[in-house]
Amino acid sequence: MDTGDWIRRDTCLWELPPSGAMRVPVRIHAGPALMEAMDEKVRQQAANVACLPGIVGASHVMPDGHWGYGFPIGGVAAFDGARGGVVSAGGVGFDVSCGVRALRTGLTDAALDPVRRELADALQREIPAGVGSQGSIHLDGPEMRGMLSGGARWAVQSGWGAAADLERIEEHGRMEGADPGAVSETARQRQRDAMGTLGSGNHYLEVQEVTRVVDAAIAAAWGLRRGELVVMIHCGSRGLGHQIGTEFLQEMLASAPAHGLHLPDRELACAPIDSELGQRYLGAMRAAINCALANRQILTHLTRSVFGRFFPGLAMPLLFDVSHNTCKLETHTLEGVERQLHVHRKGATRAFGPGHPSLPDDLRTTGQPVLIGGSMGTASWMLAGTAASEAVAFSSACHGAGRAMSRQQALRRWNGRQLVDELAGRGILIRCRSSREVAEEAPGAYKDVDAVVEDADRVGLARRVLRLEPRITVKG
């Protein structure tokens, strides 16, 4: 990206002042290397977001930012409904509440070694993954409504997991304000047999080893140490969330003139927060959040069951679960005044700092775990939310490394079978039903995750705690 007309406010903060129809500035939180590597479309998309009614503060881009649908991926924007603010389906994304959860194991890589291949095979066999994947769970009408309104709480009540898990999940496992009635029959049908499945793309279940500890005090408070194995699960609301996004984007686009909205980009279709359409979308989107929370909860239960056969009595407590494609109504202080804002995070993770009332007691001293998933064959990170993060970008942080090239470009460059063999040579077992999926998600198709989290740390979005490297990866 050409930085010629950007104002460099700090080492990792670039600002594009308002011009034309922009109501607020654009702020990109990245060092020079990541900033210059971003494509120009990030600038245009972030500037378009800055034109939307009711936006406050700034249109933010995280250090892993790259262009997406409407909003850049890694985009954060807050809107004030009392001042004509809007809600945008493009600002949430199609995979509503895609997110990451981390499970502690207490195991070491040496303990894993005798059963590594058998465990990898069992996880692939019993964790449905891939395009159109279906599980053994079939939801009838009442069960579907219960899942959409109850989220992970519904899953626990149905026998998947323990009540103790709920305290370690964003929104305590259930998103308030969900409206199952706003979810179409088509969306429900797409999800009827898809609960407890990973899906495809960059979704995965991964066994990882803590290889570096940056903040020993926080790591210890989280019960983690160097050499310990962690399981990360990365997935979302599957076909239901995608259908909700598709349907409401079309409806928002068609209704824009009636709401007096002049869109800088069709992909930024939106509706006033206080409109009937805006409220209906929020109800459906919150139901999709519950779907994703329930899905990850079921996957957790399946994962524990597999591990339990190899390591009888293993507890695998949940550290945390957090989403990165949402719109949440939150209280934030802006210009010294507390305000109720609808914060869109697309490819960005909530990062509440120490003392936040939504966190469990033992996490209030450390700040919220911020789970940064890597790509197959690359490192992942755990960071902690900071007190400064609210003022920087509405308590938000990056969610991953961010793509450096498209899936088509990756397919032209890498061979999936060769990648599996190369990674096996590094001690990383890949289990994937499609060599095409492996090539699309090649490690080299993503930015350097270490550079991304270093910039996030420097700017105050979140604080680095520990680095993890993959040992087993199950993908769609």
What is the set of active-site residues? 399
Cα separation, 63 vs 404, whole angstroms: 12
The partner residues of 228 in beta bridges, in order of sequence, read 108
Q: Which amino acid is at 34?
A: L
Q: Which amino acid is at 380?
A: S
Cα separation, 202 vs 95, whole angstroms: 12
As given in the structure block, the two tokens for residue 37 are: 């590597």
As given in the structure block, the two tokens for residue 166 are: 């709920």
How buried is residue 134: exposed, middle or buried, by Cβ count under 10 Å (0-12/13-18/19+)? middle
What is the per-residue burial (b if ≥16 Cβ within 10 Å, else e) of 21-38? ebebbbbbbbbeebbeeb
Report which DSSP code applies to 98: -
State the CB neighbour count (10 A cutoff) for residue 381.
27
**26 and 48 in contact (C-beta within 8 Å)?**
no
Cα separation, 400 vs 349, whole angstroms: 9
Cα separation, 230 vs 207, whole angstroms: 6
For tokens 């990898």, the residue is 120
Q: Where are the beta strands (DSSP E) in 324-395?
A: 325-334, 337-346, 348-350, 369-372, 380-385
Nearest partner of 366 among 253, 251, 219, judged by Cα: 219
As given in the structure block, the two tokens for residue 418 are: 């060769």
The partner residues of 209 in beta bridges, in order of sequence, read 229, 469
As given in the structure block, the two tokens for residue 337 are: 């005044």
H helix intervals, 141-275: 141-157, 185-191, 216-221, 238-255
